[in-house]
Chain A
Amino acid sequence: MSNSRLMSFILLLMCMPIAASAATADEDTTQLKEVVVESRIRGNYLNSRAVDKREMISVTGLRKMACCTLAESFENSASVSVDYSDAVSGTRQIKMLGLAGVYTQFLDESRPFMRGLSSPFALNYTPGDWLKSIQVSKGVASVTAGHEAITGQINLDYRKPTDDERLHINLYLDDMLRPEVNLSTAFPLNKDKTLSTIIMAHGSIDTDWREMSAMDRNKDGFRDMPSTRQIDVANRWFWLLPSGVQLRWGGKFTAERRIGGHLHFNGDFSDYEPAKQSYFDHHKTPAEWSQIVYPSHYGSKVTNRDASAYMKIGVPLPHIITDKDGAEQQDNVALIADFSHFDTKSTFGFNQYNAHENTVSLNLRYDHHFNAANSLAAGVQGRMSFTRGHLNNFGYFFLNNGSSLLGYEHECDERLDEREIGAYAEWTATPHKNFTMIVGLRGDYNDLAKQWLVTPRAHIKWDITPRTALRASGGFGYRTPRALIENLGMLATSYTILSGYYALPLSVVYSDAENCDKAIADRDYNQLEKAWTVGGSLTQTFKLGHDDNASLSADFFHTRFTRSLIATQEPLSQSILLYSSTGLNYTSTWQLDFTWSPIERLDVLATMRYTHSRMEIPVAESRNGNYYLSDNTQKVERALASRFKGLINVSYATRFRVWVFDFTAQVNGPMRVPGGGYNTEGSYHSPTYVQLFAQVTHKIGRTEVYAGCENITDYRQKDAIIAPDAPFSSEFNSMNVWGPLMGRKFYVGMRWNLY
């Protein structure tokens, strides 16, 4: 290929949008109109039909472990890793392509969710038992769902109103005596079953019935995990009208309370206010510091409420064509409306962040098939979100060369109104039976950034041979960062939160204390993060022993930011600096996946991911004993991003899956951990560690019972909290979590279905 052709090809890829076709679950090997010998579904596998690199986690995969929440559903995936945002709240967040989960778009049956305020928590608000499958797509995703998916897209497929289970019960209990209950009931409401509904409910509670010492294995005085109680209720409807029009609507409500911190903290902050006041007196000599009163316990309490509702109307149009596989494809118009409300009250010691957010979005989409080889999806989309919050960041500093001390309280109100309207078009073309291309373009106007955003994305899939597929994708992505909520873990420290390149406390930057987020993102109001991602994969399926469909896949993805919001502890000691940066910020990820069934019903999945992630942070310079940020920067390995993850999962099922045995071994590579000093001083690499998981499942009639063990080797990070014996000192920090906080965990559970 000549250079110019190569350039054209690359340009084509880069300039065209990607369209990860709307996620359709094809998790089933059952074939219609043929004799079904045995329904056998692999747990995690690659979707061979998808144009993008798409990993499927089927219901079999979701049941390899207890998978109590969505956060725990990715243990058999190297593409996605799940970390803790801090060791006090125990909130879990995913990482994909080595970057924070906020750069991955979550879809609830193709509707974006987990945005804004709910983003750090919502992983815990989706019970795994409600899900039928998860599709993980790497790289930029379809423009039809927005411009936000930068590192990937995760689509959740739920239980359906049309399901056969009139009642499904899932009970779970672990060795901390934490019970969980999931119920779902799906039923038709009319004779011809055109109107049906499903109700799903989840309840869980940390009972604290075990002795307290069991909850603090590392004996640092802090709970290893917070005590939580949570309920989730969802109701979904489906109505098929005689005209063929489909209506889907539903709603969900979640309430959660989590209490963390000192072992005997019970959520009572009544002694905090007098303690805070005692800091405000100017203690001129160290001798006077004894006048400072400390609260009896360091505690954290997070109370969240999440309510959402949606409606989808799909109208089929008369135009029908038959595609290359012989399936009928019909034009249609769909209107999707979403509403969500999220309210959080998060208190960590003296720090507090209370906020609520309302979001409304509308998407009108038209799907047209020109012929068997060409189709178009086009639409208009609008979204409004209104956030109101209040941050209270308390701390103290030393004066007069450290001889006197003064408390401070930085407060600021958050008032963030964002409105966005846009249009998109995505063209899917199959010029040759072995080549598919999806090209998309969308344009949006964001009134918060006061910018027009142009998002081109493209995906191609070339079936080089019937068993060899090459995929490539590329495109741009944008998102509005929410500096406070996305870095909520910084409140679980005693560090000072500084804003902007001048590293001033929030209240100083904006003396009117009006808008935290605008303060954080510098004064140019240019808050949007911008990035591009390119990548591709090569997948080969082959016959290996008994298995006709063994597969080996290699992929590479590269994401580079042209503007990003940086939250770093590193240039300045005991401070967290938030600022909007145009500096160097990129990540490259390589991954190998191998699936094989050496004998019937024995599945092996082996996968390995390596990440190279770098960014630029400012350098602090010392002048007269004080540190100031200079104009110089240094390139560092991204903090708390693991270099590699490998795993092997072996699953054996007896005939008809009467017994299922699952075993997973993970090796988690090192992360660079901030050391608490100036300019990455004291930074170190966490050790490589192994985690093992095992579960056995047995079916008795319509009942399934399971028992398992997580973290069999009992590997724990013992120093997740820095300065645990002085939680009100300026050294206290619980953000640097690189390993498991909980040790070995045994659990039992059962699932029962009534049809």
Chain B
Amino acid sequence: MKKFLFIALMAIMSVGFMGAREKKAENVKTVVFATDIHCEGCANKIMNNVPALGKGVKDVQVNLDDKTVTVTFDVNKNSEERIVKGFKSLSVEAAPIVPEAKSECDSPCCGENDSITVKDCCKKP
């Protein structure tokens, strides 16, 4: 019985290691969310619960000064709506910031689609 449990634990650990390997992102997007965070505790709450924001999250940066959270994620696995829902499950109100296109770049796409961020927009030829 104990041997079986031991082998099972080792198996879980190896699956974990395999699962832990980061796959190469193919369609990555970075969105800045305006939030109602106000303290270090809020920042920690987000950083300690990144999996609550859904799958495909590559990077999260919290800025307490301007109360924003920047999330980089794989659009094939996650969406802004899902991330907003994830923030809500942490009792954080969040909304994606729609950039003012003209001040950042001249591309006509900016502002047309709320889900396109400044970074993506300006990348366009």
Contacts and interface: CB of A to CB of B under 8 A. Distances in A.
B13 interface: yes
Interface in B65-119: 65, 89-91
Interface string B50-73: 111000010011111100000000
B64 A39 contact: no
A410 interface: no
Nearest to A709: B9
Contacts of B125: none
B64 to A, nearest CB: 6
A297 to B, nearest CB: 28
Contacts of A656: 47, 50-51, 57, 60
A38 B19 contact: no
Contacts of A707: 9, 12
Nearest to B6: A709
Interface in A360-384: none
A37 B9 contact: no
For the residues of A in contact with B, the DSSP-based class is loop
27 contacts: A28-B44, A30-B40, A33-B64, A34-B64, A35-B62, A36-B62, A166-B91, A175-B5, A654-B20, A656-B60, A657-B48, A661-B16, A661-B17, A696-B9, A696-B13, A701-B49, A701-B51, A701-B52, A701-B89, A702-B51, A707-B9, A709-B6, A709-B9, A714-B2, A746-B9, A753-B49, A755-B89
Interface of A: 28, 30, 32-39, 163-164, 166, 175, 654-659, 661, 694, 696, 698-702, 707-709, 712, 714, 744, 746, 753, 755
A698 B16 CA distance: 8
A175 B2 contact: yes
A749 B74 CA distance: 30
Contact of B40 (A28, A175, A655, A698): A28
B43 interface: yes
Given A37-B61, A744-B2, 20 more contacts: A28-B40, A33-B64, A34-B64, A36-B47, A38-B60, A164-B45, A656-B51, A656-B60, A657-B48, A658-B50, A659-B19, A696-B9, A699-B51, A701-B49, A702-B52, A708-B9, A712-B6, A744-B6, A753-B49, A755-B91
A696 B16 CA distance: 8
Interface string B1-43: 1100110010011001101101000000000000000001111
Given A36-B61, A656-B57, A656-B60, A702 B20 contact: no
A699 B44 CA distance: 15
A434 to B, nearest CB: 28
A537 B6 CA distance: 40
A39 B20 contact: no
B99 to A, nearest CB: 18
A36 B64 contact: yes
For the residues of B in contact with A, the DSSP-based class is helix
A755 B42 CA distance: 11
A32 B67 CA distance: 11
Contacts of B61: 35-37
Nearest to A165: B45
B9 A694 contact: yes
Interface residues of B, number: 34
A699 B53 CA distance: 12
Nearest to A746: B5
Nearest to A655: B22
B63 A35 contact: yes
A495 B113 CA distance: 84
Interface centre among B1, B2, B61 (most CB of A within 10 A): B2
A166 B40 CA distance: 18
A158 to B, nearest CB: 15
A752 to B, nearest CB: 11
B80 to A, nearest CB: 18
A700 B86 CA distance: 12
Contact of A39 (B9, B12, B47): B47
B5 A755 contact: no
B13 A164 contact: no
A65 to B, nearest CB: 14
Contacts of A36: 43, 47, 61-64
A160 B106 CA distance: 50
Contacts of B12: 696, 707
A383 B25 CA distance: 63
A694 B13 contact: yes
Contacts of A33: 64-65
B2 A30 contact: no
A30 B60 contact: no
A708 B12 CA distance: 10
A742 to B, nearest CB: 12
A34 B40 CA distance: 10
A35 B37 CA distance: 13
A709 B1 CA distance: 13
A441 B60 CA distance: 49
Nearest to A708: B9
Given A656-B50, A755-B89, A164 B41 contact: yes
B64 A32 contact: yes
Nearest to A162: B41
B2 A661 contact: no
A244 B21 CA distance: 50
B89 A658 contact: no
A92 to B, nearest CB: 23
A701 B85 CA distance: 12
Contact of A755 (B20, B40, B45): B45
